[in-house]
Amino acid sequence: MLILMSEVNYSIPKKKTENSKYIYKINEQNSQIFIFEIIFYDYEGKNSKIRRIKRGSQGNVVSEADNIIYKNIEYIKIAILDSNNIKNQIQAKIILDHSTTYTTYITNEIYLEFNSDKNGYMECNYNIPQKY
């Protein structure tokens, strides 16, 4: 099963300039955009991939709508690219804990939580700490 989906949010917040209360500019420095590539491996060695573009340092990157069944996934490889700093890339291999309904992955770079919802589908929330 190959799943390829993208999500793009085009609404960029505008910020008042310091010189005028009437002129706005796009606040590019604070617009954090992360590119996620998540590869799910099942017990038979088959894989499926999801790519997402997310705006913001925290949110949901996998949901029930993706139709990934938590108990069928053995491990996950994830790569995250910070579009504001291309050299800043996070990579991880995460083995799911099937003795519970969730797996948490924590480093200094990222917090990931993979959950099984009430229907058995996977959800994944992320939080990337600010480095400002």
Residues 2-46 have pLDDT tens digits of 444 444 444 444 444 455 444 444 444 456 899 999 999 999 999
The Cα–Cα gap between 3 and 66 comes to: 8
Q: Is residue 71 part of a domain?
A: yes
Neighbours of 56 (CB within 10 A): 13
Supply the range of the domain harboring residue 105.
Answer: 29-127
Q: Is residue 6 part of a domain?
A: no
Q: Is residue 14 part of a domain?
A: no
Q: Is residue 34 part of a domain?
A: yes
**Whole-prediction pTM:** 0.73
Q: Is residue 13 part of a domain?
A: no
Q: Is residue 4 part of a domain?
A: no
Could you give the 3-state DSSP secondary structure of residue 32? coil
Which tokens belong to 68?
A: 């990934």
Q: Is residue 41 part of a domain?
A: yes
The Cα–Cα gap between 26 and 23 comes to: 10
Q: Is residue 65 part of a domain?
A: yes
58-67 pLDDT tens trace: 999 999 999 9
For the chain, the domain total comes to 1
Residue 75: phi and psi, rounded to 5, are -150, 170
